Structure 1
């Protein structure tokens, strides 16, 4: 075996410091924070007045539900997206989400969030879980549609670095 070939073989493992680390572009923590903050602030600007009007709740009550839900969703959003991207990277070698994957991503996100939010909303409104279900499901339907549109737009406006088209000459 030549020295050059041996060096190549020995150098290959060093390229991946962590054996299970995905070798695909992933969003940075600052990018994920920007994503979550933009997502929640725009949603609150829609949910608080819209929910107050649709459900006859005082804006302060809808605000508590909206802000409490947003805080819960913000933490869940970060954790869920990191987990989802890591699973995608391991299973498929990419974090690029097709429309179909984005739909599954959104449905699973909302299902997990509802498991936490539904009892909290019922408790806050002093209503049964069944009564709070209509409010919670209305918010969930809004967020399903909103998350799909927002995330598609976010991916186009702020593409993952590895997904950005190459610029420059053919050589570089």
Structure 2
């Protein structure tokens, strides 16, 4: 994937996730949309930067066509990505929400569980559509 395609991938991934997460976390946490928007957008921007870096490194370590990646490798990819993101996002969430690291971890862990499933589905669908588009252009 080119640099620009990686950026497009990250933007699509985060925009769709934010559209689902902001209302859901506002409702679950009983917080107003403004605070949860700031928190989720901040984490999203952090995740976008991490996404580009992480996937660049992952693709170098696991060469070959992305469409050929099997479920176990896709699960490893998702878990590795989320674990790395948690290291940065928990302190950020604690600071923004003025809560303890433990409370921020619980919120972030719940969000990470959502993203484990979402990332798996999004990336598989993205790779499938990308492969289909490349075949059409060939």
TM superposition score normalised by structure 1 = 0.74
Say yes or no: does 1:61 pair with 2:35: yes
Whose helix proportion is higher, 1 or 2? 2
Q: CA deviation at 1:166?
A: 9.1
CA distance in 1: counterparts of 2:60 and 2:131, whole angstroms: 17
Q: What CA deviation, in whole Å up to 9, does each residue of 1:77-128 have, x standing for no partner?
A: 0000000000112xxxx24321110100000000000000001111111111
Say yes or no: does 1:124 pair with 2:96: yes
* Contact 2:39/2:97 (8 A) holds in 1: no
CA distance in 2: counterparts of 1:137 and 1:95, whole angstroms: 31
State the match for 1:14 in structure 2. none
Say yes or no: does 1:155 pair with 2:122: no
Q: Tell me which structure has the larger Cα radius of gyration.
A: 1
State the match for 2:6 in structure 1. 32
Coordinate RMSD, CA, aligned: 1.9
* Contact 2:43/2:92 (8 A) holds in 1: no
Q: What CA deviation, in whole Å up to 9, does each residue of 1:6-32 have, x standing for no partner?
A: xxxxxxxxxxxxxxxxxxxxx112221
State the match for 1:84 in structure 2. 58
Say yes or no: does 1:109 pair with 2:81: yes
Q: Secondary structure at the match of 2:31?
A: coil
Pick from 51, 63, 73 the counterpart of residue 47 of structure 2: 73
**Greater relative CO (CA pairs within 8 A, separation 6+):** 1
Distance 1:132 1:98, change over 3 A: same
Deviating above 4 A after TM superposition, structure 1's stretches of 4 or more consecutive aligned residues are: 164-168
List alignment gaps of at least 5 residues for structure 1.
1-26
* Contact 2:91/2:101 (8 A) holds in 1: yes
Q: What CA deviation, in whole Å up to 9, does each residue of 1:49-78 have, x standing for no partner?
A: 010011111101110111001100000000
CA distance in 2: counterparts of 1:79 and 1:37, whole angstroms: 14
Say yes or no: does 1:45 pair with 2:19: yes
Q: How many matched pairs?
A: 136
Q: CA deviation at 1:167?
A: 8.8
List alignment gaps of at least 5 residues for structure 2.
none
